[in-house]
Amino acid sequence: MATPRPLSTIGYEGKTIDEVLDELGDAKVTLLIDVRAVAASRRPGFSKTALAGALRARGISYLHLRALGTPKAGRDAARSGRIAEMHAIYEEQLETPEAELALAQAHEAATARHAALLCFERDAACCHRAIVADRLMAMGEYRRQDI
């Protein structure tokens, strides 16, 4: 049996871009998969273009899979602390053809490199990225680690 490949998750809530980059480097992540529906942020360094550039400077590749993001209704539920509702909305999102294709892309990318799934929330249990990680783990031999 093959050794499971690491699959990391990371949230940037309360962190600077340098802290996130250092944590990714310490974990030996070589690919960041951005699973935000909207890859923009009020936090400096976390909008798509700036983030991709900062990652590239550290030797980490960037892949944005918008279809794996949470729809607005799910984001609103999460902001209000209605995590179970967000999870239900997100599970429906994963049944769309676009999300199924993006999940297959994430799986293909994560089998070739140590990938980390990125979203905002600090706690993966309160974030849809945990659901994405669970789906990927069901598709292949992964060892999950939350950074």
Residue-number span of the structural domain to which 91 is assigned: 5-146
Mean pLDDT value of segment 87-108? 97
| Burial letters 14-45, b for 16+ CB under 10 A, else e | ebebeebbebbeeeebbbbbbbbbebebebeb
Block residue for tokens 């490949």: 5
Reply yes or no on whether the pLDDT at 2 is more than 80: no
Reply yes or no on whether the pLDDT at 106 is more than 60: yes
Mean pLDDT value of segment 105-118? 96
Reply yes or no on whether the pLDDT at 25 is more than 80: yes
> pTM of the prediction?
0.94
- If one counts the domains in the chain, the total is 1
Q: Which residues contact 9 (CB under 8 A, 6 or more apart)?
A: 116, 117, 118, 119, 124, 127, 129, 130, 133, 144, 145, 146, 147
Structure confidence by residue, pLDDT tens digits, 33-81: 999 999 999 999 999 999 999 999 999 999 999 999 999 999 999 989 9
CATH code of residue 82: 3.40.1010
